[in-house]
């Protein structure tokens, strides 16, 4: 039973063009050579189309069927036929059911008790009534079936609209979150700006310092670099020269006195000018302590692996 279900699922995926090439060819070879298999594929297709026609598929399944069957006139014809067949059979069954209800009413027993002349007149009444009810029933069945098809279509359209509305709602929520975050950042920056202005200095321009990568490779070889931070400076911008630029990006870490990371900047892209390759890193002045600060430089490979290039001591003098 389970095997049959798996086999039918595989066939359904084949009919919907979702099988990998190897499995598709294997199935084709099988059904072309084996009549029973061919019949099974036909039966699965027939069931699939009929379930589609009766609106028994989920929205996702309907879309998968439509993608395969509505884009090809030959296959589309089968789908349209299945819809028509479902409609006609609904009408047939409804008509029969109506006709059966009429014949179930026994008029004969009541007729027996009436005079002969009246009986023959009355005999015509049920026939006319039956005719009217059958015609009315047929018309009603046709209309019901037609309305049922329209209702199914409207339901599917409603489902699609609800899905679209949900997606839009999600997008709006995401945008609102993003907006709130940006607003907070904006307010934080504004607060920093105001705080800086309060210190009485308008010198928010960054402090520049150039360090060669050699300073990282052999710390102390070029002497300790000194960085003078004037009051009110918010950022120290360091230029790290790279005589050998072999990594797509770099990472700079500021290590605190206790060995913990005080600040880290990833994804620093190397640039080049006449003086050679370099990266620029902006360090928040607030993270730099008065005295010796340790900077660590690493190269980051395309796979994201970091290779330490060395450490350098930066002497910070706050004014």
Partner 1 sequence: MESVSSPEKERELTPDAFTKLLAKLSADPEVAGVEYEELRRRLIKFFEWRGAFFPEDLADETLNRTARKIDGGEEIEKNVIALALGVAHFVFLETSRRPDNRRATLEELIPIAAPLEHRLEDDDLRVASLRECLHSLSKESRELIIEYYGEEGRAKIDDRKALAEKLGISLNALFSRAKRIRDRLEQCVTRRLKRKFGGPSVQRPPAPKAPRPGGDPQ
Q: Where are the beta strands (DSSP E) in the chain?
A: 207-212, 225-229, 235-242, 249-255, 261-268, 271-273, 276-284, 291-300, 306-318
Among candidates 247, 286, 291, 285, which has minimal Cα distance to 266? 247
Interaction between residue 170 and partner 1 (CB under 8 A): no
Interaction between residue 48 and partner 1 (CB under 8 A): no
The single residue among 10, 48, 65, 86 that binds partner 1, judged by CB under 8 A, is 86
d(CA 40, CA 37): 5
The single residue among 18, 61, 66, 68 that binds partner 1, judged by CB under 8 A, is 68
Interaction between residue 32 and partner 1 (CB under 8 A): yes
Interaction between residue 9 and partner 1 (CB under 8 A): no
Burial readout 156-194 (b: 16 or more C-beta within 10 A, e: otherwise):
eeeeeeeeeeeeeeeeeeeeeeeeeeeeeeeeeeeeeee
Alpha carbon distance, N-terminus to C-terminus of the chain: 84
Structure letter (DSSP) for residue 55: T
The single residue among 13, 78, 156, 318 that binds partner 1, judged by CB under 8 A, is 78
The single residue among 6, 23, 28, 244 that binds partner 1, judged by CB under 8 A, is 28
Tokens describing residue 32: 């072309």
Give the number of residues written for the chain. Answer: 319
Quick check: 300 and 264 in contact, CB under 8 A?
no
Quick check: 297 and 281 in contact, CB under 8 A?
no
Quick check: 139 and 91 in contact, CB under 8 A?
no
| Smallest separation (angstroms) from partner 1 to the CB of 24 | 9
Interaction between residue 144 and partner 1 (CB under 8 A): no
For partner 1, which stretch binds (CB under 8 A), given 72-80, 173-181, 195-203, 270-278?
72-80
Interaction between residue 38 and partner 1 (CB under 8 A): yes
The single residue among 9, 23, 26, 42 that binds partner 1, judged by CB under 8 A, is 42
Residue placing its CB nearer to partner 1 in the complex, 15 or 252? 15
Interaction between residue 84 and partner 1 (CB under 8 A): yes
Binding to partner 1 in span 89-128, by CB under 8 A:
89, 91-93
Interaction between residue 81 and partner 1 (CB under 8 A): yes
Burial readout 62-72 (b: 16 or more C-beta within 10 A, e: otherwise):
bebbeebbeee
| Smallest separation (angstroms) from partner 1 to the CB of 10 | 13
Interaction between residue 151 and partner 1 (CB under 8 A): no
Residues at the interface with partner 1 (CB under 8 A): 14-15, 17, 25, 28-29, 31-33, 35-36, 38-39, 41-43, 45-46, 50, 54, 56, 68, 71-75, 77-78, 80-81, 83-89, 91-93
């Amino acid at each position: 039973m389970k095997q049959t279900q798996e086999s039918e699922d595989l066939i359904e995926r084949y009919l919907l063009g979702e099988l990998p090439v190897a499995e598709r060819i294997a199935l084709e070879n099988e059904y072309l050579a084996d009549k029973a298999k061919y019949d099974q594929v036909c039966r699965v297709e027939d069931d699939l189309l009929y379930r589609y026609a009766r609106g028994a598929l989920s929205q996702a399944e309907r879309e998968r069927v439509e993608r395969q069957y509505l884009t090809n006139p030959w296959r589309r014809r089968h789908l349209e036929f299945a819809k028509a067949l479902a409609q006609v059979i609904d009408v047939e069954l409804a008509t029969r059911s109506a006709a059966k209800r009429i014949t179930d009413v026994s008029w004969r027993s009541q007729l027996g008790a009436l005079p002969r002349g009246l009986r023959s007149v009355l005999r015509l009444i049920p026939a006319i009534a039956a005719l009217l009810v059958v015609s009315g029933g047929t018309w009603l069945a046709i209309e019901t079936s037609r309305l049922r098809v329209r209702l199914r279509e409207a339901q599917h359209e409603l489902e699609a609209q609800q899905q679209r509305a949900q997606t839009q709602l999600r997008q709006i929520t995401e945008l609102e979150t993003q907006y709130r975050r940006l607003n907070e950042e904006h307010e934080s920056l504004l607060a920093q700006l105001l705080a800086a202005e309060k210190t009485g200095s308008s010198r928010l321009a960054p402090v520049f310092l150039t360090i060669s990568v050699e300073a990282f490779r052999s710390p102390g070889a070029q002497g300790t670099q000194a960085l003078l931070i004037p009051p009110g400076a918010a950022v120290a911008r360091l230029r790290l020269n790279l005589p050998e630029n072999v990594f797509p990006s770099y990472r700079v870490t500021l290590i605190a006195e206790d060995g913990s990371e005080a600040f880290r900047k990833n994804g620093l892209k190397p640039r080049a000018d006449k003086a050679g390759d370099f990266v620029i890193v902006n360090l928040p002045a607030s993270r730099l302590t008065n005295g010796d600060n340790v900077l660590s430089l690493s190269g980051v490979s395309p796979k994201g692996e970091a290779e330490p290039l060395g450490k350098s001591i930066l002497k910070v003098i706050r004014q």
